[in-house]
Amino acid sequence: MKKSQKEKTGKADMPEFLFKEFTPEEDKIYEEAVNTYRAALAAGKTLRQAYEGHRIADKELETVIQADFLKIMIADLHFGKGKSLAEVAVALSVPNDLVQDTKNRMLQEAGVTAGNEFGKTYGSVMPGTDD
């Protein structure tokens, strides 16, 4: 019996991630927001207070930036500074589950991106058979 196309490609369980490409104006808004959020956290505010203190007119862009900023902070505090995920959650005043789920998504995104880049560079490593 032949394998289905999904089984042959090995992509049955690979989630798809669409990464937003920013316009120069959106990039400027992004940088300003990230810098403002960092300053708010450094001043002792919670993540929610940082987000509320810097509103962005484009709500879809605001959501993307806020999600990215949480990832930035997890990367900095957990991977960069070795804090536990529980410590990160406390430092940002957010639920542990949010930090854990976001970290898991970050790792999935990194894995998928690395796999895609490997495929672009080296082509498929799957043999070209029909079995």
Q: How confident is the model at residue 16 (pLDDT cuts 50, 70, 90)?
A: low
* Residues 28-59: tens digit of each pLDDT: 999 999 999 999 999 999 999 999 999 999 99
What whole-number distance in Å separates Cα of residue 81 and Cα of residue 83?
Answer: 6
CA distances from 1 to 24, 37, 88, 103, 121 (A): 52, 56, 50, 39, 32
Provide the pLDDT for residue 6: 38
Domain boundaries, the chain: 23-122
* Residues 72-87: tens digit of each pLDDT: 999 999 999 999 999 9
The residues, any chain, with a CB within 8 Å of residue 8's CB and separated by 6 or more, are: 126
Mean pLDDT of 88-114: 90
